[in-house]
Structure 1
Amino acid sequence: MTWKTKVNSALEGITGYTIVRPRPQAPPPKDTPRPPADPKIDRLLRAPVFVLSPVRSGSTLLRVMLNSHSRIHAPHELHIRRIAVSLTTEPVRQAMDALGHSPSDIEHVLWDRMLHRELVASGKDIIVDKTPSNVFAHRRISTCWPDARFIFLMRHPASIAGSWHEADPQERPMEEAVRHTLQYMRYLQEARRRYDGLDLRYEALVDDPEGEMRRVCTYLGIGYEPGMIEYGRHDHGEFVKGIGDWRDKIRSGRVQRGRPLPAPEDVPEDLREVATAWGYLQES
């Protein structure tokens, strides 16, 4: 029993004394994210770039190739959508409301500031975030940055699921790999329908890295640089599990050919619709 409980119990025994206990306050309702009221002052970044992709689709390879360009800063996965703001008291909620800022407005300012700080520190002028889980937040990202640019990175769906399974076969049976990776694919397909952007295939990237990187540079409005292919000659930070690929293949510093495409009959049934939509299977 705490001292407050003891005191309250003693006071309640006094005739005519009533303990008034505060009512528990309900958490404030979740607000609806909205675009910046004034982009000129609410955002420091201009036209940030987001690679939307499933896991195990070559996004780390694309990142380091982009980061090898003199004008592009493509850091490790940033997971900015997980940076949240909590207004913990009624006065601060009242103060922010008086200024016209909702919690999600403040989160957007913080996200923008974090990315802008990374960009300025790099000395470059284009930032690319390639966090795969951003596919689940593509609407929020486009709300935060209405001028955001998107690169849609695809890979054969069966190869994606197979790669995720092979990373830990005991903990990730193939059935679970299909279910898990399909979520990313569906959200990526939704984003492709919703926004303009550049379609990029992992298989094409490793088969013709120069040609594909020229396409990316044209989309971004910058000149191609041959050094993008030799990404191992540049500093990209540590390859750490949890914020990107960390395996020997990416550490080699060179673009390597991908695995052969699965035969049509080997594509799991649950992945066939996406594989068809992405052009890996013929429509029946």
Structure 2
Amino acid sequence: MKTTLVTPTFIISAPRSGSTLLRSILNAHPDIRAPHELHLRQIQVEMEDDFARNSIEALGLTNDDLEHLLWDRLLHWELTRSGKRIIVEKTPENLSHWKRLRECWPDARYIFLLRHPMHIFESLVNNHPEFSPDMLLLRMVHDVAPMRDARANLTGITVRYEELTANPRQVIEDVCHHLDVDWDPDMLDYTKSERVFAPGVGDWGEKISSGRIHRARPAPRPEEIPDELRPWCREWGYLD
């Protein structure tokens, strides 16, 4: 099934990896629309009875096809509304559903955003006091595991949160090259295009709302990293 949108871009990241910062910087580019999290996988199609199912099957379509048409139309609508020419979507759940994205848009581009897994875990603990650290650690394993397959099966550029915050110009210039757009220095002043960060559709904390790019914390010492996170730290290049 052919979709309307041409080469959409998806940020593939675990939660609390800095995706709101990255998409806000990209959204400040005159040619790039990077909206808040759209949660495409949670936008589903339901057919109430056999009449509807038989009708759709007679068209040669499946339920997944209908969802893909809906997702495609939503992104196309948002891009057209913005007056820009490139759309970037950043919902963290994209990491677990990258196969559906590839199925819907075979020509999509990807940005793999990595952050030290220990800092992801600490951020989850700080932002979700309603859950125990042990429960969040289990969630971490679920969230970071699909990154291996995603990076092995999708073509894209890798961005590290630590490098993004330490040298934003160089990192964003590389991303612009990946997206076939010119670098625009105004991108780093991302609040020019967005001043309000709403809860529920991305980070809305004090750091992102400040409009400044805050440098990442120093990497933890190896002995501070829980055993459950060590394989991912090693695989992502954060632990020798």
TM-score, normalization: structure 2? 0.97
Q: CA deviation at 1:102?
A: 1.2
Using a 3 Å threshold, how does the CA distance of structure 1 residues 226 and 83 change in structure 2: closer, same or farther? same
Q: Does 1:48 align with 2:11?
A: no
Q: How does 1:176-255 map to 2 (within 5 A)?
A: 176-235=135-194, 238-255=196-213
Deviation at 1:158, TM superposition (A): 0.3
Write the deviation string for residues 214-249 of structure 1: whole angstroms up to 9, x where unpaired: 01011111111001111122226x312211001110
Q: How does 1:137-152 map to 2 (within 5 A)?
A: 137-152=97-112
Partner of 1:50, secondary structure, is strand
Partner of 2:122: 162
CA RMSD of aligned residues (A): 1.1
Q: How many residues align?
A: 240
Aligned to 2:131: 172
Aligned to 1:270: 228
3-state SS in 2 of match to 1:150: strand
Alignment correspondent of 1:85: 45
**Secondary structure in 2 matching 1:45:** coil
Rounded Cα–Cα distance in structure 1 between residues aligned with 2:91 and 2:52? 32
Instruction: Kindly state the Cα deviation for residue 188 of structure 1 after the two structures are TM-superposed.
Output: 1.6
User: For residue 228 of structure 2, what is the amino acid of its counterpart?
Assistant: D
Moved over 3 A (4+): none
Matched, 1:130 2:90: yes
Question: How far did residue 172 of structure 1 move?
Answer: 2.8
User: How far off its partner does 1:78 sit?
Assistant: 0.2
User: How far is the alpha carbon of 1:168 from its aligned partner?
Assistant: 3.2
Percent identical residues: 43
Amino acid at match of 1:250: I
> Partner of 2:213: helix, strand, or coil?
coil
- What is the CA–CA distance in structure 1 between the aligned matches of 2:47 and 2:20, rounded to whole Å? 35
- Give secondary structure in 2 for the equivalent of 1:262: coil
The answer to whether the 8 A contact 1:205-1:212 is kept is yes
Matches of 1:200 and 1:148, distance apart in 2: 17
Where structure 2 has 5 or more consecutive residues not aligned to the other structure, the ranges are none
CA distance in 1, matches of 2:180, 2:136: 37
Query: Residues 117-164 of structure 1, C-alpha deviation per residue, up to 9 Å, x if partnerless?
Result: 000000001001100011111001100111111100000000000111
State TM-score, norm by structure 1: 0.82
Q: Which has the larger radius of gyration?
A: 1
SS in 2 for 1:54: coil
Shift of 1:88: 1.4
Query: More relative contact order in 1 or in 2 (CA 8 Å, sep 6+)?
Result: 2
Q: Deviations over 1:54-92 (max 9, x none)?
A: 111000000100000000000000001111111212222
Structure 1 residues without counterparts, runs of 5 or longer: 1-35
Distance 1:85 1:272 in 2: 39
Provide the C-alpha distance between the structure 2 equivalents of 1:190 and 1:158, rounded to a whole number of angstroms.
21
Give the partner amino acid of 1:263.
R
Q: Distance in 1 between matches of 2:199 and 2:161?
A: 21
